[in-house]
Amino acid sequence: MPTYDDAGVGYHDPKIENLTNALLGIHRGLSQTAPPTNYQGVAIYCDWETSEAEWDYFRGHFLKSAY
Instruction: Name the pTM for this structure.
Output: 0.80
Give the pLDDT band (50/70/90) at residue 8: confident
What is the arithmetic mean of pLDDT over 41-50?
91
Residue 11 has pLDDT above 90, yes or no: no
Please write the tens of the pLDDT for every residue from 49-66.
999 999 999 999 998 754
Query: Is cis: bond before 46, omega within 30 of 0?
Result: yes
Position 66 scores a pLDDT of 46
Q: What is the mean pLDDT of residues 13-31?
A: 92
Nearest one of 32, 38, 42, 30 to 2, comparing CA atoms: 42
